Structure 1
Amino acid sequence: MIAAGAVLRAVAGGLVVILVAACTAPAAPRSEASAAASTHCSKPQGRLPAQTPTTINVIEQAYFCILGNYYSGATMDARTLLTAGFVALARELNLNGRDVSVATMPALTGDREADWTAFETAYDKVTAQVPTLRDKLAVVTLEAMVAALDDNHARWVHGGGGQPPNYYDGDGYGLGLQASVDGIQLNGSPDAALPPLFVTTVEGGSAQAAGVRPGDVIEAINGSAPFIDQKSTPAIAALYPQYPEAGPVGLRLFRQSTGQRWTVTLRPGVYERDLAALEGVTSRLLDNDVAYVRLRGFGPDAADRVFKAISRLRGGRTLAGVVLDVRGNGGGSTPEAIRLISAFVHDQVTAYLCTVDGKCEELRTDDSVKLINLPLTVLTDRSCASACEHFSSAVKDLSIGKLIGARTAGQISGPAEPFQLSNNTMLSFPARHHLGPKRETLDRIGVPPDYYLPLTPKDAATGRDAALAEALTLLHK
């Protein structure tokens, strides 16, 4: 699974956050065949053809696809989807200065098909009066319907409306960021973040050229405070623009070690990346007897790469244990997470996948994986999401090892399943929800650490890693 981001790399700007005069025209005609086809969605087969415009037919298809396949589709009140869609449509009309008198939400009764017919009739009346906005209205309507699921593994993947004025496709500002008092990072959930907002890494680019350093606290973004009364503000969004938008961003910075305050303007641009930092698995020997392995994602062969790293470090010496660093791990493959768990315990349930009526499938360890037979400590943070949380919850619940650092992201609603829509865009969402080994809900809650040691601005500035130090202490007891 991947977190929706799971550790999210805002490709929009390459920003690592470790942290959308009235005239009338007839509505497009809909054939009976297209109307029938629109209520079905299918699993994608191979590479998708080029996308075509989003239409009311596509919105209808997505609506019934969700109701027929989403985890709680059978029991949910479908009016929430239609209401969210019409709210977005009305807002877009207003933003474009093209509001029309017929843009009135129809009465909904709870009958899914009758409500759709009423919604479609109202939608067609609106788009007939603003044909130049038809494509944009369709996109925002469908985006809002998917967002109404309020599910971190539900998304609609589409090409949008072309390149915006601030189009930029490159490596970004060169910053790694965190907002933390309790270790919460800006991983797509800024509403959950706490101050201060500070720099964790400087990778290059404009940030490096401006002399920004790890530990520098960001007091203002484009003149606005990132937090007011301990609550995040919309200003933070400028630091992780949606792909492919990124523009200059002004920061007021504070360096605690010197008391210096100053302002910089960072501009997105391509810069040379440290290839080692992009490796999915890196490792080194610590204290001559501890295998430290950093795992940045549960991609293909992730578990085997971890096993090989431990085996290499184990050669010719007796190890006191393993430190597995999954901070910033946005998730990936569920089977890879299970294989990694299976190297430390056998014959156990690692998680459950459950339907809305409570029928659950056990996800069990793969006992063909050879046991490592070493003590384990795991470093976690608020960017450990999805499959990373599957792994972390199993470590904790099955008493495989200790979690050190900060609570995980709480972005593990369930494995997303893809569905192809008729315009060759992709809709994905969970058909079942994830529960931990003790049948506990992890989604929106996360997995708490056994030892709470989040990164602080001072730690970032000095290079101190309190979580890693605690892990080494535990392994040497």
Structure 2
Amino acid sequence: MTAVRVAAAGLALLMAAACTAPAPPRGETSTAAGTVCAPPKGTPGKETATTIDVIEQAYFCLLANHHSGATLDARTLLTAGFAALTQELDRNGRDLPEATMPALNGDRKADWAVFETVYRKITGQVPDLRDKLAVAALEAIVAALDDEHASWAHDVEQPLDHYDGDGYGLGLEANVGASQSDGNLAAAVPPLFVIAVRGGAARAARLRPGDVIESINGSAPFTDQKATTAIPALYPRYPEARPVELSLLRPRSGRRWSVTLQPGLYQQDLSDLQVVRSKLLDDDIAHVRVASFLPDSADRIVRAISRLRRGRTLSGVVLDPRGAGGGSITEATRLLSAFAHGKVTAYHCTADDTCQSLRTDDTVELLGLPLAVLTDRDCASACEHFASAVKDLRAGLLVGTRTAGMISGPAQRYLLANNTILSLPAKHHLGPNREVIDRIGVPPDHYVPLTPEDAATGRDPALAKALTLLHK
């Protein structure tokens, strides 16, 4: 029997099984293969090879469970997967004349059968690349959702000498942060410059805040005022270890030089690991730095403000979640609840616009203090939930720059047959005024960007503006 007939016969059996199989338990989804897409129970076992059957399970799982699954054109997913497969063939010097994209007609099951037939034909000719091709295809299928909260977690073992306080990378932070380099480069504005040196290769090379990065591996970070794909090289992820060459300008001295930085583990400063840091400014303003909205962070922030308030009258609070790339929506809601009661803080909606409202936790005691919140392009996810609620509910003022625009919705984890995890948001997030925040971000009430000169001299114009507003 030919491969095409095998695929057609297999498709008929799959469709028949889909019609006769019993409904899966609540929280589980039957895929076309009759396997179950379900949340993991306990710790997954050791990861096994990614196969075409795993790709199939993931494909039907995301169509059933992603909030756009009912309406998206699944051909975009299969096309992305096939494109990644051919690129991987080319990278390995093994491109094949048969590696051409099959015609798809929009029928999800039939298109999968056609894709699988060609996929098996190609991988059968390069069995030594089968694992690489499968991983590349599945990564691309998930990426084609264009949703930063949709992910496939696999092969994520840390190095043997890793511990929880380690950072990994070049050891620098630029004004175009890691969250932007993950897929929001369109929002980046020049120039590209160092805003902090955290350790590692950047510290060893004596880079300083304010140093302007003029090229990365020989490519300009901006062309015609638009960010280029050179920027993500600043934020390598383990185990990527290719050296990164930077051409730099130190504006205050006019010095130009080049340096090659080797990614690696580096020990972070203890202060950078603190989730909540607080201090008193101008004798009457509580300034609280929030690194992430982790469990218990809201209570810790409120306690820190209360401690600073003891024995004095505060004029207001500056909350500083700049760089807070995510965390718990519940914690963001509880923190907001210290400044507003009886309000809707967001909506989580399905593809057909059936929405569930999220409300303040009115068991949290109101602080009764004026609020300013500092924002930047690395304020993402739970941070944006908090920022949008502050702005829409007029619980305070936002100062700084627009947030990341990376808040598609809360993700549910699903276990795949090879013990890897697929994470998919079943609902999309809207702000309290039902505005779309994902891909757009939350604009500040007062736009105060950081400049290379500010970074070099240690000035914080957004914080200075917030203090001025609270003293009015």
- C-alpha spacing 1:443/1:138, structure 2 compared with 1 (3 Å): same
CA displacement at 1:50 relative to structure 2: 0.5
Residues 130-167 of structure 1 show CA distances to partners (whole Å, capped at 9, x for unaligned) of 1111111111111111111111111111117999xxxx
Aligned with 2:281 (options 264, 282, 286) = 286
Counterpart amino acid of residue 324 in structure 1: L
1:317-332 alignment, distance < 5 Å: 317-332=312-327
CA distance in 1: counterparts of 2:167 and 2:325, whole angstroms: 21
Task: Confirm whether residue 50 of structure 1 aligns to residue 46 of structure 2.
Answer: yes
Counterpart amino acid of residue 46 in structure 2: A
Aligned with 1:193 (options 185, 188, 199) = 188
Q: Which residue of 2 aligns with 1:66?
A: 62
Q: Which residue of 1 aligns with 2:37?
A: 41
Aligned CA RMSD, in angstroms, stands at: 2.4
- C-alpha spacing 1:270/1:423, structure 2 compared with 1 (3 Å): closer
Structure 1, 330-339 or 263-272: larger mean CA deviation: 263-272
CA distance in 2: counterparts of 1:185 and 1:78, whole angstroms: 27
Q: Which residue of 2 aligns with 1:157?
A: 153
Q: Which residue of 1 aligns with 2:76?
A: 80
* Number of residue pairs the alignment of both structures matches: 442
CA displacement at 1:232 relative to structure 2: 2.0
Structure 1, 40-49 or 372-381: larger mean CA deviation: 40-49
Q: Which residue of 2 aligns with 1:366?
A: 361
Counterpart amino acid of residue 45 in structure 1: K
CA distance in 2: counterparts of 1:469 and 1:185, whole angstroms: 25
Percent identity of equivalent pairs:
65
CA distance in 1: counterparts of 2:279 and 2:167, whole angstroms: 31
Task: Confirm whether residue 175 of structure 1 aligns to residue 167 of structure 2.
Answer: no
1:349-428 alignment, distance < 5 Å: 349-428=344-423
Q: TM-score, normalised by structure 2?
A: 0.89
CA distance in 2: counterparts of 1:321 and 1:147, whole angstroms: 43
1:191 and 1:232 in contact (8 A); partners too: yes
Aligned with 2:245 (options 250, 257, 278) = 250
CA distance in 1: counterparts of 2:287 and 2:430, whole angstroms: 29
CA displacement at 1:217 relative to structure 2: 0.4
CA displacement at 1:195 relative to structure 2: 1.2
Structure 1, 451-460 or 83-92: larger mean CA deviation: 83-92
Q: Which residue of 2 aligns with 1:264?
A: 259
CA distance in 1: counterparts of 2:388 and 2:302, whole angstroms: 20
1:35 and 1:57 in contact (8 A); partners too: no
Q: Which residue of 1 aligns with 2:26?
A: none
Q: Which residue of 2 aligns with 1:10?
A: none
CA distance in 1: counterparts of 2:385 and 2:107, whole angstroms: 38
Aligned with 2:88 (options 92, 97, 100) = 92
CA displacement at 1:260 relative to structure 2: 1.3
Runs of 4+ in 1 over 4 A off after TM superposition: 30-39, 160-163, 184-188
- C-alpha spacing 1:253/1:60, structure 2 compared with 1 (3 Å): same
CA distance in 1: counterparts of 2:167 and 2:371, whole angstroms: 38
Aligned with 1:103 (options 88, 99, 106) = 99
1:39 and 1:64 in contact (8 A); partners too: no
CA displacement at 1:194 relative to structure 2: 1.8
CA displacement at 1:74 relative to structure 2: 1.4
1:381 and 1:407 in contact (8 A); partners too: yes
2:182 and 2:232 in contact (8 A); partners too: no
Counterpart amino acid of residue 148 in structure 2: N
Query: SS at 1:125's partner residue?
Result: helix
Task: Confirm whether residue 122 of structure 1 aligns to residue 118 of structure 2.
Answer: yes
CA distance in 2: counterparts of 1:453 and 1:39, whole angstroms: 52
CA distance in 2: counterparts of 1:199 and 1:408, whole angstroms: 19
The runs of 5 or more residues in structure 2 that have no matched partner are 1-5, 18-29, 160-165
Residues 418-472 of structure 1 show CA distances to partners (whole Å, capped at 9, x for unaligned) of 1110111011111000000000100111000000001110100011111111111
CA distance in 2: counterparts of 1:203 and 1:242, whole angstroms: 16
Q: Which residue of 2 aligns with 1:133?
A: 129
Counterpart amino acid of residue 254 in structure 1: L
- C-alpha spacing 1:53/1:260, structure 2 compared with 1 (3 Å): same
1:325-340 alignment, distance < 5 Å: 325-340=320-335
Residues 189-224 of structure 1 show CA distances to partners (whole Å, capped at 9, x for unaligned) of 334322111011122333223221110101122222
Query: SS at 1:252's partner residue?
Result: strand
CA displacement at 1:233 relative to structure 2: 2.3
Counterpart amino acid of residue 85 in structure 1: G
Structure 1, 293-302 or 216-225: larger mean CA deviation: 216-225
CA distance in 1: counterparts of 2:96 and 2:257, whole angstroms: 48
Query: SS at 2:175's partner residue?
Result: strand
2:416 and 2:422 in contact (8 A); partners too: yes
CA distance in 2: counterparts of 1:306 and 1:68, whole angstroms: 39
CA distance in 1: counterparts of 2:105 and 2:180, whole angstroms: 42
Aligned with 1:467 (options 462, 466, 472) = 462
The runs of 5 or more residues in structure 1 that have no matched partner are 1-25, 164-168
Residues 205-255 of structure 1 show CA distances to partners (whole Å, capped at 9, x for unaligned) of 332232211101011222222222212223223211232212322222111
Q: Which residue of 1 aligns with 2:3?
A: none
